[in-house]
A and B are shown apart, each in its own frame.
Chain A
Amino acid sequence: MQWLNAVIQGVLLGGLYALLAAGLSLMFGVMRIVNLAHGVLAVLAAYLGYVMVDSFDVPWFLAVLIVVPVMALIGYVLQWGLFNRALSKGGLAPLLVAFGLAVVLTQLLQEFFTADTRSIQIGSLGTNSIQISEDIYIGVFPIVTFVVGVLVIAGVQIFLNTAPLGRAMRAASDDPDTVKLMGIDNRQVYALSTALALATVGLAGMFIGMKTQFSPTYGDLVLIFAFEAVIIGGLGSLWGTLVGGIVLGVAQAVGNQINPAYGLLIGNLVFLAILAFRPQGLLPKAVTT
């Protein structure tokens, strides 16, 4: 029964990891940008939420509704201000720019908020749980996180498949030069892609802030989990990212069950095993470019 419990908790945790990884997957899928600032941007969102809830007594759900569009705006500005220029230089430039951004943002957060850990208070939502059987309890908050994660992945995938802008994003991913010949400014498509990606990062950051204690350097761990979820699932596929998140979550939860010190280790080992034996991931994109 403990093992079943561990798997259930792991699946729910996987929803959070998928939510964390969605933006990373999207930016890589559309622009081939490996956004090393992904984790610290999520932590930035958590701090924005923390300030609103802690200092201005904004209810947490309202803080979520504010942080998400603010992060989208930050994404739009970052793309026009930094990444579009870096992309035009080609090669490793976007990776280095993202790395620099991660370092600068982490330092700024240290400066403003110190290295103390914080968390966003959500009251009884954080502790309520539902009893499933005699000895299995499921927290309401992990369920909410999981549902939000699945909805975000599904929503972004449906948007990419059906909306004109989503179609333009996929076309720009295939061939940015030819997209211009369709009257589409690929840089604007990129800016909107990053805005969408950072909206999901904002949501993920808020959930991290509500779930756990975070500090300015917590982004490193977020980045690693997001990366592992994306790689396990298969690059460029959002459904794969969901699967990857769940695999990672279950591996960590089962590892914890074996020995509380083994959770992260087992998650990383599963990731390494996938890289070694199935480097294209569990659900690779059907068309590779």
Chain B
Amino acid sequence: MSLLSITDLDVHYGDFQAIYGLDLHLNEGETLAVIGANGAGKSTLLKTISGLLTPTAGDIQFDGTSIARMPAHKRVPLGIALTPEGRRIFRSLTVEENLKVGAHTKRKGPWNLASVYEAFPLVADRRDRLGVNLSGGEQQAAAIGRALMSNPRLLLLDEVSLGLAPVVVEQIYAALPTITSQGTTVLVVEQDVNQSMRVADRVQCLLEGRTVLEGAPSTLTRDQVASAYFGI
């Protein structure tokens, strides 16, 4: 049975429709990469799953319960955590305080300060620094650590690589196997196709709010992905 099951989803920003009749299914323990160009609706999708946006039509089922109209803060205790676009680290809090805020729901599981520091040495080094004084890569690692502190069943990662040096992106993605080995289901959104093809069990490509290609990375050719990505 699917952990996350999205059917016929429509999402609007005012009059502008960002997602059209989208279907998405994710099994427990699976890693899915949603790829697509700017404006494909990737971040909108994650905001809708986490509850920051409310869909205009369709349903989102999490572990058999409909969550489409549940407020964001009630979804975290169920085990949904989002690392948002732009990282959104709390600027006036230290890194460690950011992590502690992430653990607010006190969900039980493998993640705590010690295990996050072990998985992200970069975060451990900066634990006493204020959020406002972190580099982009440090912010990203801290934001993922903060999301893990709620011990999610489903981790949503939005544009992890955006604006970061390749070497930093690699450091951060190096922690992903540790996360998935705990049985955590991961939905990663990326513009960087190569990065996501490497880590994902399955790839779903969006174009202007609709799914245009879906499959395991090994079954997809470069040309297929390129034409789906750019819509040519």
A118 within 8 Å of B by Cβ?
A: no
- A171 at the binding interface (Cβ < 8 Å): yes
Report yes or no: B150 in contact with A180, Cβ–Cβ below 8 A. Answer: no
CA distance A289 to B74 in the complex (A): 27
Option from A170, A185, A285 in Cβ contact (under 8 Å) with B90:
A170
A174 B92 Cβ-Cβ under 8 A? yes
Specify the main secondary structure of chain B where it touches its partner.
Answer: mixed
Count of chain B residues with a beta carbon within 8 Å of a chain A beta carbon: 31
Contacting residues, chain B, for A186 (C-beta < 8 A): 73
Minimum CB distance partner of B130 in chain A: A287
Main secondary structure of the interface of A (DSSP, over half): helix
The answer to whether A182 touches B91 (Cβ under 8 A) is no
From B74, B81, B92, B150, contact of A170 by CB (8 A): B92
Chain A residues positioned under 8 Å from B150 (CB to CB): 182-183
Looking at B71, B90, B93, the one whose CB has the most chain A CB atoms below 10 A away is B90
Q: Chain A residues near B93 (CB, 8 Å)?
A: 167, 170-171, 174
Using Cβ atoms and an 8 Å threshold, which residues of chain B touch A183? 73-77, 104-105, 150
Selecting from B31-39, B95-103, B167-175, B205-213, the interface stretch reads: B95-103
Chain B residues, CB < 8 A from A175: 88, 90-91
**Beta-carbon contacts under 8 Å, B104-148 to A:** 104-105, 130-132, 146-147
Q: Which residues of A contact B84 (CB under 8 A)?
A: 178, 181
Q: How many residues of A contact B (CB 8 A)?
A: 22
Write 16 A-B pairs (CB below 8 A) sorted by A numbering. Answer: A164-B104, A167-B93, A167-B97, A167-B101, A168-B101, A171-B98, A174-B91, A174-B131, A180-B51, A180-B73, A182-B101, A182-B104, A182-B150, A183-B75, A286-B92, A289-B92
**B interface list, Cβ under 8 A from A:** 50-52, 71-77, 81-82, 84, 88, 90-93, 97-98, 100-102, 104-105, 130-132, 146-147, 150
Given A167-B101, A175-B88, A286-B92: 12 more A-B contacts, CB < 8 Å: A167-B97, A170-B92, A174-B92, A177-B52, A178-B84, A180-B73, A181-B81, A181-B84, A182-B104, A182-B146, A183-B73, A183-B74
